Amino acid sequence: MDRPHPVELTVDLQAIADNYRMLAAKVKPAECGAAVKADAYGLGVAKVAPALARAGCRTFFVATLDEGIALRQLLPAAAIYVLNGLQLADPREFAEKRLQPALCSLPEIERWSERFVNDGKSDKDSPVAAPALHFDTGISRLGIPRDESRRLIAEPAWFDGLKPALLMSHLACSDDIASPMNARQLQRFNEICAGLALPAKTPRSIAASGGIFLGPPYHLGMVRAGAALYGLAPLMNDANPMRQVVRLQAKILQVRRVDDGDSVGYGATHRFAGPARLATVGVGYADGFMRALSNRGVAHIGGAEVPIVGRVSMDLTVLDVTGLPEKAAQVGAAVDLLGPLQSPDALGERAGTIGYEVLTNLGRRYRRIYLDGEVAGGRA
Active site residues: 37, 266
81 and 166 Cβ atoms separated by less than 8 Å: yes
